[in-house]
Copies of this chain bind each other. A is one copy, B any other.
């Protein structure tokens, strides 16, 4: 019987890193079945995602130590990260992303465990609860940003989520909140060519007569919508599209892009370096 091991490495680049890692694995009698490696030459940073087979399961902690010993100081190494992530979903009123997440969760194909849904409106409670997922309504109204976020953090705490998914959560999170879940909050938003920053982007895209509507899934940083991009895709529109039709097309592409981004993140295929990602598809 085969034991599968997944190893993730991100560290300063140096001569012979692959050799050193591979040497350690050969010592454990593990065979590399799929390896993705990338060096960002500008940033002198090394990334690897290594899938191995072995006739015996290694002691993960000892393997981790053995790998760290041969890698540059400060290397980020993960051996067998939790295969099924724990996820909390934050929503407002729109369901197009949540529907996809909960359906795939129901049939165990999301690759993650949805532990709860938090809404700043109560609108999606019934839909969520019919999937037997806890729904927490935490309104932002009549509350300071600080109190609003404190209540969310308190609601999240018992679930110990690995990731927060902002599935059309229409509130901006403070840098302090974001720091608590650094590189672990995933957001989705529509994107246009050219961009229409500010209010009423669909109305302005309509008035400009754009022929494409896009969506961007990214990690959240303290700078609004400027975090590392995970997935981007576009869908065609034309003069027959009213503003409302463009909104519908936008929701479709948002759902597809978030779905793809979650799949990549939950399979440990996405690395972050500064404001960019390395994605081993």
Chain A interface residues (CB < 8 Å from chain B): 13-20, 22-23, 25-26, 29-41, 95, 99-100, 103-104, 106-107, 109, 127, 130-131, 191-195, 197, 207-212, 214, 216, 228-234, 238-240, 248, 256, 275-279, 281
- Establish whether residues B39 and A36, one from each chain, have CB atoms under 8 Å apart when the complex forms: no
Once the chains are docked, how many angstroms separate the CA of A168 from the CA of B39? 33
Known: A32-B39, A35-B37, A107-B99. A214 touches B228 (CB 8 A): no
* Residue pair A231, B211 in contact (C-beta under 8 Å): yes
Q: Which residues of chain B are within 8 angstroms of A234 by Cβ–Cβ distance?
A: 193, 212, 214, 234
Q: Which residues of B contact A20 (CB under 8 A)?
A: 22
User: Which B residue's beta carbon lies closest to that of A193?
Assistant: B191
What is the copy number of this chain in the assembly? 4
Interface of A is mostly: mixed
Q: Which residues of B contact A19 (CB under 8 A)?
A: 19, 22-23, 25-26
Query: Of the candidates B13, B106, B239, which one forms a contact with A127 in the assembled complex, judged by CB atoms under 8 Å apart?
Result: B106
Q: Chain B residues with Cβ under 8 A from A107's Cβ?
A: 95, 99, 127
Contact at B208–A232, with CB atoms within 8 Å?
no
Expressed in whole angstroms, the Cα–Cα distance for A95 and B32 within the complex equals 35
Apart from A15-B31, A16-B31, A208-B229: 6 A-B pairs, beta carbons within 8 A: A33-B41, A34-B38, A194-B197, A195-B195, A209-B276, A209-B277
> Which residues of B are found within 8 Å of A211, using beta-carbon distances?
229-232, 279
A211, B264: Cα distance in complex, Å: 14
Q: How far is the CB of A128 from chain B (nearest CB, A)?
A: 11
Separation of A239 and B271 alpha carbons in the complex (Å): 11
CA distance A68 to B279 in the complex (A): 32
Q: Give the CA-CA distance A240 to B106 in the complex, in Å.
A: 27
Beyond A39-B34, A95-B107, A256-B256, is A207–B275 a contact (Cβ under 8 Å)? yes
A193 and B16 contact, CB distance less than 8 A: no
Contact assessment for B239 and A279 in the assembled complex, using a CB-CB cutoff below 8 Å? yes
* 18 contacts across the A-B interface (CB closer than 8 A): A13-B31, A18-B35, A23-B23, A32-B37, A33-B39, A33-B41, A34-B37, A34-B240, A35-B35, A99-B100, A99-B103, A100-B100, A211-B231, A211-B279, A212-B233, A212-B234, A239-B278, A240-B281
CB distance from A106 to the nearest CB of B (A): 6
A193 to B211 CA separation, bound complex (whole angstroms):
14
Which residues of chain B are near A36, meaning CB under 8 Å? 36-37
